[in-house]
């Protein structure tokens, strides 16, 4: 079920069988296709050659028919006999000639078989070809050679239809048929031959493959036995193989591997002696390092205690400086808050002034737009008065028109009424605009007064901000001096702490070095023991 359960020879044999099978199938397919195409080309050439021979016989017949428009029975029988003899010699089924007459395809002559001759079953002159191939009509229409495979009442054929023309210009078509049953039988025989050849090649390939697999398997088994001996420690084994192919290269590589293993083992034994000597020296050195590091660790402990006491004193000084600096920063923050409030007040007053100015500008714009609306309302009033006059004139004209102007008079009255309403509305708009303009003028005056008060308040707030800035600068100077003292104290504290930490770290490293030296001594003893085993 899985390839890992198959031995190498079996897998190689299966691969070779697969390759041989694919090769046989491809060979059979290609050979059959090539021979089938060659046979069909030969059949088509035979059909075309036969048609060319028929033309030599039938041109005179059709030329006489074109002149006389009829043939005698003896002439027709003689023509059929010649075509039948020609078909037998050419080894084709039928040879015939056809024309197109009154939208029908009709025979002008046709060969006959021995069976048809015995039964006197001949094709009549100008008889209609009811189940003719479509290729005949194409050949008549295009005057080009047509090949076809079709069935009619006489059988199933491979045929050629060749357009022909007599010396006097009369056109007809020559048809030549070969039975498809004969063609199929020939192609089947070719297929059988190809299959038999492919089967023989396949069997020969399998036999050769079996011989090669057996040879390769025996050789590989001998190589595997030699490698197994080498794995068991017998390094004097030598693999012999006479050829210089890939198996010969493998044999050479196996022998070289055995030689290299022998050299490697000798080198390992020599290295083991050197390792044992070095391990003894290293063990003695590790003992000396361990003793020296223990003494250094004791001195470092005393130094660490002194640095810790100095660090505590520096930390206390730094804490006092930090407290003073915090008080100074608190005063600075209070002053900054006052300055910020004054600045926010100034900004707010500037913002109010800006908004008031914008409001004044908008009111001025509103006054201008009101004037424009007043002008438009005056224009509307003028248009409405003119419309009223036009409507009055239209009513007079409608009255003069009598009965025909009544409808127009009604419209004129409605227009005049609408014009009166428009005039009244425009007057109301002008009055409202006058009221709006009076209000906007008063608002602009009030805004101007407010702007003056905002300017005075802004100037007072600016003086207050300047005074607070001077106070803030003095506080910042004091704070900077306290910060410098505090920073120096903190820096001293950090430095002292760092020195103390470094001393502790050095002490730990020295102690760890002592432990490592002891471990190294133990490891070198074990290494010496391993070297002794390697020498054995």
* pLDDT band at residue 214 using 50, 70 and 90 as cut-offs: confident
Closest CA to 226 of 217, 236, 237, 216: 237
Q: Which pLDDT does position 422 carry in this prediction?
A: 77
Phi/psi of residue 128, each to 5°?
-75, 135
Rg (C-alpha) for the chain, rounded Å, is 64
Residue with tokens 């407290």: 323
Q: 62, 76 in Cβ contact below 8 A? A: no
Measured between alpha carbons, how far is 214 from 210 in angstroms, rounded to an integer?
6
Asked whether residue 316 falls in the same domain as residue 172, the answer is no
pLDDT at residue 498 is higher than 80? no
Give the C-alpha distances (Å, rounded to integers) separating 139 from 82, 149, 267, 422.
24, 15, 95, 95
Instruction: Let me know if residue 265 belongs to a domain.
Output: no
The tokens for 270 are 């020599």
DSSP 409-428: HHHHHHHHHHHHHHHHHHHH
Residue in the block written with tokens 């074990």:
526
Tokens of 67: 């002149």
Q: CA 310 to CA 314: how far, in whole Å? A: 6
Q: Identify whether the C-beta of residue 510 lies closer than 8 Å to the C-beta of residue 296.
A: yes
Q: 95 — phi, psi (to 5°)? A: -130, 130
Distance CA 123, CA 405 (A): 102
Structure-derived torsion over alpha carbons of residues 386, 388, 393, 395, reported in degrees to the nearest 10: 160
User: Which of 154, 189, 211 is the C-terminal boundary of a domain?
Assistant: 211
Q: What is the 8-class DSSP label of residue 124?
A: P
Please report the sign of the dihedral spanned by the C-alpha atoms of residue 122, residue 125, residue 131, residue 137: positive
**What is the pLDDT at residue 1?**
45
What is the rounded CA–CA span in Å between residue 217 and residue 533?
41
User: Could you tell me if 403 and 320 lie in one domain?
Assistant: yes
Q: Tell me what pLDDT residue 330 has.
A: 75
254, part of any domain = no
Same domain (yes/no): 207, 288: no
Do 173 and 139 form a contact (C-beta atoms < 8 A)? yes
Distance CA 162, CA 44 (A): 12
* Backbone phi, psi, residue 285, to 5°: -65, -40
List the 94-101 sheet strands across, edge first.
104-110, 94-101, 171-179, 155-165, 146-152
With bands split at pLDDT 50, 70 and 90, how would you rate the model's confidence at 384? confident
Of 211, 246, 264, the residue at which a domain comes to its end is: 211
Assess whether 187 and 334 both reside in one domain: no
**Span 376-396, average pLDDT:** 79
DSSP-derived secondary structure for 264-298: HHHHHHHHHHHHHHHHHHHHHHHHHHHHHHHHHHH
User: What domain range includes position 168?
Assistant: 3-211
Whether residues 38 and 164 fall in one domain: yes
What value does the mean pLDDT take over residues 256-278? Answer: 76
Residue 269 lies in a domain: no
Distance CA 395, CA 412 (A): 6
Claim to verify: residue 194 and residue 89 sit in the same structural domain: yes
Please give the model's pTM, rounded to 2 decimal places.
0.40
Neighbours of 125 (CB within 10 A): 20
Distance between CA atoms of residues 461 and 468, nearest Å: 11
Task: Answer whether 256's CB lies under 8 Å from 250's CB.
Answer: no
pLDDT of residue 87: 92
- Is the predicted pLDDT of residue 22 greater than 80, yes or no? yes
535's tokens: 């020498």
Q: Residue 48 has which token pair?
A: 């075309």
Q: What is the pLDDT of residues 420-437, one digit of tens each?
A: 887 787 788 778 777 877
Residues 330 and 443 in one domain: yes
Q: Is 367 within a domain?
A: yes
User: Do 205 and 288 fall into the same domain?
Assistant: no
H or E, element range at 162: strand 155-165
CB 187 within 8 A of CB 36: yes
pLDDT, average across residues 88-101: 93
* CATH number of 49's domain: 3.30.450.20
Mean pLDDT computed over every residue of the chain: 79
The answer to whether residue 258 sits within a structural domain is: no
61 and 200 co-located in one domain: yes
240 lies in some domain: no
The yes-or-no verdict on residue 102 having pLDDT over 70 is yes
**The pLDDT value given to residue 452:** 78
pLDDT single digits (tens) 440-449: 777 677 767 7
Do residue 288 and residue 198 come from a single domain? no
CB atoms within 10 A of CB 426: 21
What is the reported pLDDT for 478?
A: 61
Please, what is the angle between helix 8-68 and helix 180-231, to 10°? 160
Count other Cβ atoms within 10 Å, centred on residue 227.
Answer: 15
Q: Is the CA virtual torsion 313, 319, 320, 325 positive or negative?
A: positive
Which segment, 129-138, 251-260, 284-293, 454-463, is predicted with the most confidence on average? 129-138
Better-predicted residue by pLDDT, 504 or 372: 372
Torsions phi, psi for 2 (to 5 deg):
-125, 150
Instruction: Look at 21 and 492; give whichever has higher pLDDT.
Output: 21
Q: Helix or strand or coil: residue 281?
A: helix
pLDDT given at position 259: 79
| Token pair for 147 | 């090949």
Give per-residue pLDDT as tens, 42-78.
999 999 999 999 998 899 899 989 888 888 999 999 9
pLDDT at 515 over 80: no
pLDDT grade, residue 223 (50/70/90)? Answer: confident
Helices H, strands E: what count in the chain? 7, 5
CA angle 131, 90, 87 (to 5 degrees): 45
147 contacts: CB under 8 Å, gap ≥ 6: 44, 47, 135, 158, 159, 160, 161
Report the candidate in 355, 308, 378, 335 with the shortest Cα–Cα distance to residue 472: 335
Tell me, what's the pLDDT at 207? 86
Whole-angstrom distance, CA of residue 407 vs CA of residue 403: 9
272, pLDDT greater than 70: no
Confidence grade of residue 534 (pLDDT, cut at 50, 70, 90): low
Q: What's 339's domain CATH number?
A: 1.10.287
- In this prediction, residue 186 carries a pLDDT of 84
Both 201 and 342 in a single domain? Answer: no
Task: Among 172, 194, 211, give the residue marking a domain's end.
Answer: 211
Instruction: Tally the domains of the chain.
Output: 2
pLDDT at 3 > cutoff 60: no
Percent over 70 (pLDDT), the chain: 78
Q: What is the 8-class DSSP label of residue 123? A: P
In a domain, 446, yes or no: yes
pLDDT at 381 over 60: yes
Task: State the DSSP code for 126.
Answer: T
Q: Same structural domain for residues 187 and 292? A: no
* Length in residues, the chain: 536
Q: Has residue 479 got a pLDDT over 50?
A: yes
Within a domain: residue 255? no
């Amino acid at each position: 079920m899985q390839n890992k359960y198959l031995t190498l020879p079996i897998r190689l044999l299966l691969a070779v069988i697969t390759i041989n099978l694919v090769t046989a199938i491809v060979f059979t397919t290609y050979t059959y296709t090539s021979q089938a195409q060659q046979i069909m080309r030969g059949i088509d050439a035979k059909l075309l050659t036969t048609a060319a021979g028929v033309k030599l016989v039938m041109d005179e017949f059709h030329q006489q028919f074109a002149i006389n428009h009829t043939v005698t029975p003896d002439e027709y029988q003689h023509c059929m006999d010649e075509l039948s003899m020609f078909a037998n010699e050419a080894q084709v089924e039928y040879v015939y000639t056809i024309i197109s007459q009154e939208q029908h395809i009709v025979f002008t002559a046709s060969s006959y078989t021995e069976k048809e001759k015995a039964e006197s079953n001949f094709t009549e002159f100008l008889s209609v070809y009811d189940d003719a191939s479509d290729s005949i009509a194409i050949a008549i229409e295009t005057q080009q050679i047509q090949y076809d495979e079709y069935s009619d009442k006489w059988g199933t054929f491979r045929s050629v239809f060749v357009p022909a023309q007599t010396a006097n210009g009369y056109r007809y078509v020559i048809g030549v048929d070969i039975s498809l049953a004969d063609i199929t039988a020939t192609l089947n025989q070719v297929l059988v031959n190809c299959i038999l050849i492919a089967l023989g090649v396949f069997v020969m390939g399998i036999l050769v493959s079996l011989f090669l697999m057996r040879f390769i398997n025996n050789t590989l088994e001998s190589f595997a036995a030699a490698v197994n001996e080498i794995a068991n420690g017998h390094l004097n084994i030598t693999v012999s193989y006479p050829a210089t192919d890939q198996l010969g290269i493998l044999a050479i590589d196996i022998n070289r591997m055995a030689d290299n293993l022998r050299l490697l083992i000798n080198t390992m034994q020599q290295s083991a002696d050197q390792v044992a000597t070095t391990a003894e020296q290293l063990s003695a050195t590790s003992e000396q390092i361990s003793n020296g590091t223990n003494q250094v660790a004791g001195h470092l402990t005393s130094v660490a205690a002194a640095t810790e006491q100095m660090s505590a004193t520096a930390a206390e000084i730094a804490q006092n400086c930090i407290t003073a600096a915090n008080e100074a920063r608190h005063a600075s923050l209070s002053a900054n808050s006052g300055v910020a409030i004054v600045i926010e007040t100034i900004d707010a007053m500037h913002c109010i002034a800006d908004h008031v100015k914008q409001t004044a500008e908008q009111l001025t714009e509103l006054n201008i737009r009101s004037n424009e609306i007043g002008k438009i309302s005056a224009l509307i009033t003028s248009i409405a008065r003119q419309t009223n006059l036009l409507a009055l004139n239209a009513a007079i004209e409608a009255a003069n028109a009598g009965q025909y102007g009544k409808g127009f008079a009604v419209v004129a009255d409605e227009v005049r009424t609408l014009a009166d309403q428009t005039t009244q509305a425009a007057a109301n708009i002008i009055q409202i605009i006058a009221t709006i303009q009076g209000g906007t003028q008063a608002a602009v005056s009030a805004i101007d007064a407010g702007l003056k008060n905002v300017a005075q308040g802004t100037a007072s707030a600016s003086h207050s901000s300047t005074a607070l800035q001077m106070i803030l600068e003095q506080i910042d100077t004091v704070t900077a001096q306290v910060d410098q003292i505090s920073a120096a104290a903190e820096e001293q504290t950090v430095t002292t702490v760092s020195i103390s930490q470094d001393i502790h770290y050095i002490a730990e490293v020295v102690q760890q070095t002592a432990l490592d030296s002891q471990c190294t001594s133990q490891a070198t003893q074990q290494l010496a023991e391993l070297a002794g085993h390697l020498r054995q």
